[in-house]
Structure 1
Amino acid sequence: MKPIFKSAAFAAAFLGAFAAPALAEITITDLRDRSVTLEEPAQHVLLGFYYQEFLAVAGEGGVDRIAALSRGPWADWRPGQWEVYTAAFPQLKDLPDVGDTESATFSIEAAIAAEPDLVLLAAWQYDALGESVGQFDTAGIPVLVLDYNAQTLEKHLASTRALGAALGADERAETLARLYADMSADTAARVAKAGPSNAKVYVELAQKGPDEAGNSYAGGMWGGIIDGLGGQNIANGQIENWGPLSPEYVLAEQPDVILLAGSEWLNRPAAVTLGFAQDKAVAQKRMKAYLGRAGWAELPAVKSGNVYGVYHGGTRALSDFAYFRFIGKAIHPEAFADVDPQAELAQFYADWLPVEADGVFMIQAE
């Protein structure tokens, strides 16, 4: 019998023609309306922000796909969260730190040296880097921009799906996107059924302690959430985006609901400390100090017990639907009577993240 192939080279070429086709390129439209192409799902990601969103979408083994970090916004801005994650994954501490755009320490050179196959940036980081982002293009490293900070349903879903496509986790990302969309729709339906509320709401960044007025919010951040939930934000028309309201104005407005936004701030002995690895008793003590401000005892919110603490790091995230529902319950208690936002947050972590929601994230002042 004559051999089918005349030579090994011919055989290799012949069989190669019938080999499994190469994986198709992945093309994604990111949140700056840029077309980003990957040859295959990213395995070595420079993670600029949205740490928990990355891990939720990546699923098991997600930490092992991080090549480098912009560490400051995680370790410095949310130290309790960083503590919980590094306790579970000590290798995070050893990853290269490329600096951060907020402090103008972000190093493109250090980022390229980490040899990522994808640079993942928040829109605000991408904008801050400006033309220097082009150095990644020169190095052949794709950059994907996400935007949960916009606080819109559309961009939350688009960011999640873009991240899923980049990581080869489209199905997981789609399930997360549908969960977020469904929870948002349920919240909107409850608010619509309740109708507009006459409840006046005051929110303050409780970082400086009760002796100094912290920022309030209008239009965006907490202000946008209050507007979307049908509350009457007393900051509207008084500030643009954020800034403190005068104590006299707050007293004159007689808010029905007060929200104190707290976080895991270090070296802030009078701040309301909320978030990961925080103590409920300490949070209550710090909130009580705010209630002792001149004139606050007579405010409707204080007299009715409608003063709440909310984790400042909880918004602009895939889990922020739980915070929306917590505030929605404060404004429309009957419409959200059967909703347990803290349980919903805990369930989200149990289902999608590699750590538990261990801390104080939503609390009512006692």
Structure 2
Amino acid sequence: MTSAIPTPTRFGVPAPTRLGVFLGAVFGALLALLAVAVPLSSARAEIRVTDVLGREVVLEKPATRVVLGFYFEDFIAIVGPGATDRLAGVSLHYWKGYRPRQYEAYLAKFPAIGDLVDVGDVDNATMSVEKIVAARPDAVILSAGQYDYLGANAAAIEQAGIPLVVVDYNAQTLEKHVASTLVIGQVMGTEDRARRLADAYRAKVEDTRARVAKAATGAKPKVYVELGQKGRDEFGNSYGKGMWAGVVDLAGGANIAAGQVASWGPLNPEYVLSEAPDAIFVTGSEWMSMPHAVLLGFGIDPATTRERLRPYTERAGWADLPAVKNHRVHAIYHGGTRSIHDYVYLRYMAKVLYPEAFADVDPKAELAAYYAENLPIAPAGNFMLPLDE
């Protein structure tokens, strides 16, 4: 009869075997890795965003309930399918008020947007922190102008634990368009879509710049842009900086409003005549309640646009302007600026100024392609056209 081999002991406690030592070491290493991994995963879950004002904003996760102040179609394009389901509130005036038929097209597609909280707007001094917070968002995206309007009160949004980011397409620069697009993509967790849109925008703008640089060998053609809300008898705003001024600059035009108005405002009629613009662009939109406005956009036919545009050419002295004599008076969609697809309107304007350089560019086809690829509705209507075919 054999006796069992006694288990080695140390100080009365069984001594570990080699296997036990090995397993203990492995277990200890795993615990160490877990201890490191937990805080690392938490760090990865945080989303750190630097907005266009250079403010660093931290989100725990991609936003699912957003208050959106402006740039509604850009948001939908950047976020992609389900974008409207991730809205908690909007500044309704800037969508339904500015672009009523565009809003109606989205409302028909997504009826739930009719129930979104309206947080007010800057134009009517109704936007408030209280309305924004009451919408219970997990993120707020405002334009630079809206952020400025709220001023010191904007801090109350963040004090309520709600991340606030600022974007700015109104500046009408390539850099801020790209930055704004990437910021929205970060906030919403759709960075790939945002990067694709930003890269496409950059490519179109740079292609336009290259064509203009090659074609603009002499004096730049003079350009006059007017907000077409008031009709023939009263001059509407023109743009000295930002918005259409930025488009004119990129298109290779000499903006006659530059230096005359700081941002926007009407020009003196005699000054417009003295400058003798080579091309005139009157902006239009779905301003159905304005009896003399140039109508353009969703659901607007060319005949209606031209009927509202033609009286502008009947202003005193306009018959002698180069733009009128040479049939270079155009209607262009006012919503065609401050957007990630405004390169379409840039290229339309550039083609008017330098037709040979853009002979192979079809801005209307580019607009249709953008919608087909990035948005859930079609651009049914007219968005840019000459007064005379």
Alignment of 1:44-193 (within 5 A): 44-193=65-214
Could you tell me which of 230, 233, 239 is aligned with 1:217?
239
Aligned counterparts of 1:70 and 1:226: Cα–Cα separation in 2 = 28
TM-score, L = length of structure 2: 0.86
Per-residue CA deviations over 1:152-187 (Å, capped at 9, x if unaligned) read 111111111111111111111110110001001100
Q: Residue 76 of structure 1: SS of its match in structure 2?
A: coil
**Count of aligned pairs between the two proteins:** 352
2:230 is the alignment partner of 1:208: yes
2:58 is the alignment partner of 1:37: yes
Aligned counterparts of 1:272 and 1:294: Cα–Cα separation in 2 = 19
Higher radius of gyration, 1 or 2: 2
Per-residue CA deviations over 1:332-362 (Å, capped at 9, x if unaligned) read 1111111111111111111111111122211
- TM superposition shift of 1:198: 3.7
User: Which residue in the other structure is 1:233 paired with?
Assistant: 255
- Report the residue type matching 1:276 in the other structure: F
* Range with greater deviation from structure 2 (219-228 or 199-208): 219-228
Per-residue CA deviations over 1:14-33 (Å, capped at 9, x if unaligned) read 9xx59995552110101111
Q: In structure 2, list runs of 5 or more residues that go unmatched.
A: 1-30
Aligned counterparts of 1:344 and 1:106: Cα–Cα separation in 2 = 35
Conserved 8 A contact 1:48-1:70? yes
User: Which residue in the other structure is 1:11 paired with?
Assistant: none
User: Which residue in the other structure is 2:285 paired with?
Assistant: 263
Conserved 8 A contact 1:98-1:107? yes
Q: Residue 340 of structure 2: SS of its match in structure 1?
A: coil
Q: In structure 1, list runs of 5 or more residues that go unmatched.
A: 1-13
Conserved 8 A contact 1:148-1:317? yes
Q: Residue 238 of structure 1: SS of its match in structure 2?
A: coil
Q: Residue 164 of structure 1: SS of its match in structure 2?
A: helix
Aligned counterparts of 2:166 and 2:266: Cα–Cα separation in 1 = 31
2:295 is the alignment partner of 1:273: yes
- TM superposition shift of 1:111: 1.8
TM-score, L = length of structure 1: 0.91
- TM superposition shift of 1:320: 0.5
- Report the residue type matching 1:256 in the other structure: D
- Change in 2 beyond 3 A, CA 1:360/1:139: same
Conserved 8 A contact 2:170-2:242? no
- TM superposition shift of 1:264: 1.6
2:355 is the alignment partner of 1:333: yes
- Change in 2 beyond 3 A, CA 1:29/1:195: same
- TM superposition shift of 1:143: 0.5
Conserved 8 A contact 1:202-1:216? yes
Identity of aligned residues (%): 52
User: Which residue in the other structure is 1:309 paired with?
Assistant: 331
2:376 is the alignment partner of 1:357: no
